[in-house]
Amino acid sequence: MRSQMFTEIREVVKEGKGFTTLRFRFARNALPGQFVMVWLPDIDEIPMSLSYVEDFKGITVREVGVATRALSSLRVGDSIALRGPFGNHFEPSHGLNLIVSGGTGAASLMPVAEVVGDKRRVDVAIGARTRDEVIFENRARLSSSEVRVSTDDGTYGMKGTAVDLARIMMKEKRYDMILACGPEMMLRSLLELSKEYGISCQFSLERFMKCGVGLCGSCALDGKRVCADGPVFRREELESVSEFGKYKRDEAGLKVSL
């Protein structure tokens, strides 16, 4: 288990309604899709995907609970403790990749587009509930020549879901790989779409995690541990997982319906 390391917040960026990016120096190698365990003393330790993986790393937080509200309130000069990076990572195709993000899913996906380093090999579909929740659109345009946005309420871009948008884009082009992160029901629908079009895919899953290294079992998914066996899973792995898109586990480890 990697030891904990304190680091100072160097930059705070408000990305949109309820979203905050914290940037910091963290002298450990990281790859797109990996995550860190973030500890706030006297509050909690939670898993966060790395939204920046270079020397000047970052996490992007959405305010949904006590720990995320505390993280979102941090200022430049404050400190957090980190463990990791943990988990496996995205492996983009050498051909044409379609990145599909829902909500905060864009956080773990933007580093993938940047690693590819060729705008012609990356198309991006960004989905959000409303205009104020669209994040990293401008950043995506720096790494992709084709970026489209959808919102559930139609306040920006196409009215519809990220999966609706992905279907349109897949009708127009032949993709070699789908890379996605977002709500699990979105990913379940996207899995069916990938099977329909015969496209390989890699999805990053979110689960309640306590240890981050596969010991506690709180993130179990049909015997797989999302923190250690994932968080990125390929299509053939997810096709054999009966709980995917149906169940998750709560803080006590009990199975609950999505």
- Secondary structure element (H or E) that encloses residue 123, with its range: strand 122-128
Structure tokens at 28: 């450990």
Alpha carbon 93 to chain centroid distance? 18
Q: What's the pTM value of the predicted model, to 2 decimals? A: 0.93
Confidence of residue 86 (pLDDT cuts 50, 70, 90): very high
**Contact call for residues 94 and 44 (beta carbons, < 8 A):** no
Residue pLDDT, tens place only, 8-27: 999 999 998 899 999 999 98
Residue 81: its pLDDT value, please?
Answer: 95
Average pLDDT value over all residues in the chain: 91
Residue 222: its pLDDT value, please?
Answer: 81
Of 52-61, 115-124, 183-192, 235-244, the range with the lowest mean pLDDT is 235-244
Kindly state the average pLDDT of the residues 204-210.
82
Residue pLDDT, tens place only, 103-155: 899 999 999 999 998 999 999 999 999 999 999 999 999 999 999 999 999 99
Residue 106: its pLDDT value, please?
Answer: 94
Residue 220: its pLDDT value, please?
Answer: 76
- Secondary structure element (H or E) that encloses residue 12, with its range: strand 5-16
Indicate whether 70 pLDDT > 60.
Answer: yes
Kindly state the average pLDDT of the residues 77-95.
95
Say how many Å lie between the first and final Cα of the chain, rounded.
31
Indicate whether 248 pLDDT > 90.
Answer: no
Measured CA distances, 55 to 28, 37, 58, 103, 257 (Å): 8, 18, 9, 25, 39
**Contact call for residues 17 and 62 (beta carbons, < 8 A):** no
Confidence of residue 170 (pLDDT cuts 50, 70, 90): very high
Confidence of residue 1 (pLDDT cuts 50, 70, 90): low
Residue 224: its pLDDT value, please?
Answer: 82
Confidence of residue 232 (pLDDT cuts 50, 70, 90): very high
Calpha distance 63→107 (Å, rounded): 14
Residue 252: its pLDDT value, please?
Answer: 65
Domains and CATH numbers, the chain: 5-86 (2.40.30.10), 97-257 (3.40.50.80)
